[in-house]
Amino acid sequence: MTQFDQDAFNRFVVQNNVYGFFQEAITLKSGRQSHFYANWRTVVEDVWLTERLVQFVLGFVADKRIPVDTFYGVPEGATKLGVICQYTHARQQQGYGKGSHVLAMGRAKPKEHGAARDRFFVGMPAGKTIVLEDVTTTGGSALKTIEFLKESGIELSAMISLTNRMEMRDDGLSVQQAVQKAEVPFYNMSSAIELLPVVYQSLQPGEDIARALEQEYRQYGVAPISLV
């Protein structure tokens, strides 16, 4: 198992353009306005990059010693990552064979008919399950997934976010605090507060963007940022 290297992962994020900037603010899924995005789509559309990302995830889990039987991606946002992490993880385990591991996937919209496990899942998670999310802002989608999985009787060992935007929710909690309040350990593999200054220096989008982002983090951030 490859050991997790935080600096190497941060370089992977920056070099593959996961972060970018907008001159005009966009509306995020959370409803907030922002001048930057974090988007893993171009990475998981490429087989080689996805394989590299999976190795980072598995190394992170091993480094943190998080017990896992099943990886489960938040539907749509991290579906492919969850499936490929689980496939790769299962093949590395002792006793791998027929019936040893489930290949779990959730439906974004449940089927209208059938048993619960078929209506909501294309392969229901089993054993100690890690929930994967690509980007967390206020954690709305992740928390809904956690609630649903717990109601389905699934044992959750952790939630892992590839990119945490490090924003406070409207209830005054960070995503980490909200997930931990749901009695699930939370980990992020990268932090916008750490990476935004690096990406800003690389892309040089201009001081207007810098000032707008500094204001965003004064308003929403778990901590302020300084870009110029």
Whether residue 76 is predicted with pLDDT greater than 90 in this model: the reply is no
| Interatomic CA distance for residues 113 and 103, integer angstroms | 22
pTM: 0.92
Residue 197, domain member (yes or no): yes
Average pLDDT over every residue of 67-79: 93
Average pLDDT over every residue of 83-99: 95
Residue 103, Cβ density class (10 Å: 0-12 exposed, 13-18 middle, ≥19 buried)? middle
Residue 20, domain member (yes or no): yes
Which position has the token pair 């800003």? Answer: 200
Name residues whose C-beta falls within 8 Å of residue 217's C-beta, 6 or more positions apart in sequence: 166, 193, 223, 224, 225
More confident residue, 107 or 128: 128
Average pLDDT over every residue of 138-144: 89
Sign of torsion over alpha carbons 149, 151, 153, 158:
positive
Residue 157, domain member (yes or no): yes
Residue 172, domain member (yes or no): yes
CATH of the domain at 29: 3.40.50.2020
Whether residue 166 is predicted with pLDDT greater than 60 in this model: the reply is yes
Rounding to the nearest 10 degrees, give the CA dihedral for residues 26, 27, 29, 30: 120
Residue 101, domain member (yes or no): yes
Name residues whose C-beta falls within 8 Å of residue 114's C-beta, 6 or more positions apart in sequence: none
Query: By C-alpha distance, which of 13, 5, 137, 106 is closest to 58?
Result: 5
Per-residue pLDDT band at 123 (split at 50, 70, 90): confident
Residue 224, domain member (yes or no): no
Dump pLDDT digits (tens) for 204-222.
Answer: 999 999 999 999 999 999 9
| Interatomic CA distance for residues 23 and 30, integer angstroms | 19
Question: How high is the pLDDT of residue 28?
Answer: 82
Average pLDDT of every residue of the chain: 91
Residue 61, domain member (yes or no): yes
| Interatomic CA distance for residues 139 and 174, integer angstroms | 9
Asked if 146 contacts 118 with a C-beta cutoff of 8 angstroms, the reply is no
Per-residue pLDDT band at 181 (split at 50, 70, 90): very high
| Interatomic CA distance for residues 103 and 90, integer angstroms | 9
Whether residue 114 is predicted with pLDDT greater than 70 in this model: the reply is no
Range of the domain at 108: 6-219
Whether residue 14 is predicted with pLDDT greater than 80 in this model: the reply is yes
Average pLDDT over every residue of 96-124: 79
Question: How high is the pLDDT of residue 135?
Answer: 94
Q: Considering its fold, how many domains does the chain have in total?
A: 1
Question: How high is the pLDDT of residue 116?
Answer: 59
Which position has the token pair 């299962």? Answer: 90
Residue 146, domain member (yes or no): yes
